[in-house]
Amino acid sequence: MYASKANAERGVATVQAVLKVVTATSPAAAGDTRFETFKGLDNRYYFHLKANNGQIVLQSQSYASKSGATSGINSVRSNGANVARFEVREARDGNFYFVLKATNGQIIGLSEMYESKANAERGVQTVFGLLADVK
């Protein structure tokens, strides 16, 4: 959990930058919604949820080990079954994003940026639905 909104936003920017330069270790087949786990250039492990259209709809924090990332995926699966665990937030630039929180309040998933709160809320519903069917 971040101590301030500014720290959380820096965390968002860092994860997005790392995700742009990593190679997935378990690529999704066309048409499959699935989690992909990968090792970043920082030698830490990450995962993201990729929709059947190929779009990344949820990304993780970093983990020291692949097993840690796998535990994170399991936490996203269980906590993502409760729509109340999603929270839409406004970034400093006026865009919106959402986070998925574990029962302890820790952020375990982060969305892309959206131009409006309504779009971010639709994103929550999309991810909530995808998590019910993901492999």
Q: Looking at residue 120, what is its pLDDT?
A: 98
Residue 1 has pLDDT above 80, yes or no: no
Pairwise CA distance, residues 44 & 21, whole Å: 13
Q: Give the model's pLDDT for residue 73.
A: 97
Tokens 């970034």, located at residue? 91
Distance CA(1)–CA(8), nearest Å, equals 8
CATH fold group of domain 5-133: PH-domain like (2.30.29)
Q: Are strands 23-24 and 96-101 parallel, antiparallel or unpaired?
A: unpaired
The count of other CB atoms within 10 Å of the CB of residue 131 is 22
| Rounded alpha-carbon distances, angstroms, from residue 114 to 90, 122, 130 | 9, 10, 18
> Taking the model in full, what pTM does it have?
0.75
Domain definitions of the chain by residue range = 5-133
Q: Yes or no: say if 99 and 110 are a contact pair by the CB < 8 Å rule.
A: yes
Give the model confidence (pLDDT) of 38-86 as tens digits.
Answer: 999 999 999 999 999 999 999 999 999 999 999 999 999 999 999 999 9
pLDDT, tens digit, for every residue of 82-107?
Answer: 999 999 999 999 999 999 999 999 99
Look at residue 4 in the predicted model and tell me its pLDDT. Answer: 74
